[in-house]
Amino acid sequence: MSHLSDRELEKVAEAYEQLLGPALFEPWADRLADAAEIQPGHRVLDVACGTGILTRAVASRVADTGAVSGVDINPGMLAVARRHSPGIELHQGPAEALPFDNDQFDAVVSQFGLTFFSEPDTALREMKRVLKPGGHLALAVFDSLDKLPAYATLASIYERLIDPGVGKALQRPFSMGDTDRLALLLHEADIPAPVILTHEGTAHFDSIRNMVLADVRGWFPFAGIELGESAIEAVVHEASKELAAFQTSHGGVEFKVPVHFITATKA
Ligand SMILES: C[S@@+](CC[C@H](N)C(=O)[O-])C[C@H]1O[C@@H](n2cnc3c(N)ncnc32)[C@H](O)[C@@H]1O
């Protein structure tokens, strides 16, 4: 990420907010806020808040008597969050070292960050540390790639047409879908009596091209992946054939997205 200037990071983050947010991330914000049992007056932390999609949903629930803070490692994501979420306290830093004292929050929430953390067990311990006793933890993690055939197909197209490393990057958001391994991670991080429940959502993109561009413009550059126009066209062309099963009659793309919610309460 460091090779991009702040302005470039922000541009990618804005594409994330516009292209990926509505299709993949916004549909989960209210559902995860429900799972965290957020009430007016609560103090809530959103870890890996990105452009603030969940942070804003939480802010509307805690109302004027509560407060929401967001933390993310990426200054570009935070710049977009600041523009879209005026008045919300945002911090730049790693989930593995949260800049808060112990026992501060009624709820700690995080959607789709865990698979990107370099030390997910440390991040989980940090989330528990900053929760008040009795506070709720609620996390969302995508199911495995074999449960999301549209992305499995896209990853395989990148592997064959572009570079195995790009296919591998696209697999990362779906790398913690195995619930046995997830349960082991939660146990190792000392999360008390975690519950893992799988929910189903629907992803919708306006077109196959926009589904491809959402990754290419909305987060690949964060991972050091820059694709030229001919590579993009080749992927769109192949995806138009291989993703035909997911096309709607209006030319959009639609597919089921299973997501694991992890909830726990601090003793
Ligand atoms: C898929 S995005 C999810 C963002 C947001 N939660 C949402 O629902 O739109 C993953 C986020 O994790 C952040 N991230 C990755 N590693 C991180 C770390 N170690 N600490 C904090 N944030 C991190 C990224 O910058 C990115 O904003």
CA of 48 to the centre of ligand 1 (A): 4
Query: Is 115 part of any domain?
Result: yes
Question: Closest ligand 1 atom, CA of 94?
Answer: 20
Q: Which residues pair with 110 in a beta bridge?
A: 139
**Binding site membership of 116 for ligand 1 (Cβ less than 6 Å):** yes
Q: Is the CB of 120 under 6 A from ligand 1?
A: no
111 pocket-lining for ligand 1 (C-beta < 6 Å): yes
Number of domains in the chain: 1
> Is any ligand 1 atom within 6 A of the Cβ of residue 94?
yes
Domain membership of residue 10 (yes or no) is: yes
Mean pLDDT for the stretch of residues 136-146: 98
pLDDT of 86 above 60: yes
Is the pLDDT score of 2 beyond 90? Answer: no
CATH of the domain at 134: 3.40.50.150
Arithmetic mean of pLDDT, 168-185: 98
The predicted-structure confidence for 233-256, as pLDDT tens digits, reads as follows 999 999 999 999 999 999 999 999
Task: Identify whether 95 is part of a domain.
Answer: yes
Q: What is the pLDDT of residues 18-49, one digit of tens each?
A: 999 999 999 999 999 999 999 999 999 999 99
Contact 69 CB / ligand 1 (< 6 Å): no
Single-letter residue type at 74: N
Domain range enclosing 213: 6-265
Residue 174 lies in a domain: yes
pTM of the entire predicted model: 0.97
CA distance 240 to 135: 46
Would you place residue 72 in the very low, low, confident or very high pLDDT band (cuts 50, 70, 90)?
Answer: very high
CA dist 107 and 134 (Å) reads 9
Long-range contacts of 172-176 (CB under 8 A, 24+ apart): 172/115, 172/116, 173/112, 173/115, 173/116, 173/142, 174/115, 174/142, 174/143, 174/144, 174/145, 174/148, 175/115, 176/114, 176/115, 176/120, 176/141, 176/142, 176/260
- Residue 116 inside a domain? The answer is yes
Would 131 be classed as within a structural domain? yes
Does 1 reside within a domain?
A: no
* 125 in any annotated domain: yes
